[in-house]
C-alpha cells in the first residue's frame, strides 16, 4: 500500500479527528479512504447519468438484425486470432 502525507490547518485536523471518533472510523487514513471511495462512486454515477442522457437524446432505438450478436462474436473471434 502506498503512503501519502497531507497537511491540514488546525481547524481541518480537528474536524477530521472529530469525524473519526464520531463516525466509527478506525483511523484518519480510514476516514480519508472512505472519502475517496465516496468521490469515486459519485464520479461513476455522474458518468452513468451522462451516458443515459446521451442515449435518451440520441433518438429512438433502431431494431437490430437477428444475427447481429452472432456477427459481433465472429468478428471478435477473428480479431483474437490475429
The length of the chain is 82
Mean pLDDT of 67-71: 97
Averaged confidence pLDDT in the chain:
96
Mean pLDDT of 42-64: 96
Q: What is the mean pLDDT of residues 52-63?
A: 95
Read off the DSSP letter of residue 26.
Answer: S
3-43 confidence digits (pLDDT tens) = 999 999 999 999 999 999 998 899 999 999 999 999 999 99
Rounded Cα gap, residues 57 and 41, in angstroms: 24
pLDDT band per the 50, 70, 90 thresholds, residue 1:
confident
pLDDT recorded at residue 33: 96
Amino acid at each position: 500500500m502506498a503512503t501519502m502525507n497531507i497537511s491540514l490547518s488546525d481547524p481541518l485536523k480537528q474536524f477530521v479527528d472529530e469525524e473519526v471518533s464520531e463516525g466509527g472510523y478506525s483511523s484518519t487514513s480510514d476516514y480519508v479512504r472512505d472519502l475517496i471511495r465516496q468521490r469515486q462512486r459519485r464520479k461513476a454515477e455522474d458518468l452513468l447519468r451522462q451516458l443515459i442522457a446521451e442515449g435518451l437524446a440520441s433518438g429512438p432505438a433502431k431494431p437490430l438484425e437477428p444475427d447481429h450478436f452472432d456477427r459481433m462474436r465472429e468478428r471478435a473471434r477473428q480479431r483474437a486470432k490475429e
